[in-house]
């Protein structure tokens, strides 16, 4: 009986962990529908650019071409054109 009780507890713990993992995956895969593709990419790229700027002494974070690409992606998405 004791082994069965441990098995039940372990099974429940695994279920809880799996639910958390699935929730995290959904948050990554299914962003807020109001977010636009260019904004999503910029949100990922900006911290990376900031780190590169700090190490290399560059100014990628304020790159005009990056902002332009973000705006273009958002505009294309608003038109309903498949961008990926």
In tens, the pLDDT along 34-78 reads 778 888 888 888 888 889 888 888 888 888 888 888 898 888 877
Based on the domain organization, do 46 and 82 belong to the same domain? Answer: yes
Q: For the whole model, what pTM was predicted?
A: 0.50
CB 17 within 8 A of CB 41: no
| Domain around 24 | 1-30
Residues 6+ apart with CB under 8 A from 67: 42
Based on the domain organization, do 45 and 82 belong to the same domain? Answer: yes
Q: Quick one: average pLDDT of 26-41?
A: 71
pLDDT at 29: 56
Distance of CA 16 to the CA centre of its chain: 22
Based on the domain organization, do 20 and 54 belong to the same domain? Answer: no
3-state helix, strand, coil in the chain (%, to 5): 80, 0, 20
């Amino acid at each position: 009986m004791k082994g069965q009780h441990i098995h039940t507890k372990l099974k429940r713990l695994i279920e809880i962990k799996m639910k958390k993992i699935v929730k995290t995956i959904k948050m990554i895969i299914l962003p807020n529908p109001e977010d636009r593709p260019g904004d999503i990419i910029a949100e990922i790229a900006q911290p990376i650019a900031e780190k590169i700027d700090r190490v290399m002494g560059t100014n990628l974070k304020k790159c005009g071409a990056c902002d332009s690409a973000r705006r273009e992606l958002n505009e294309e998405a608003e038109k309903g054109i498949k961008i990926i």
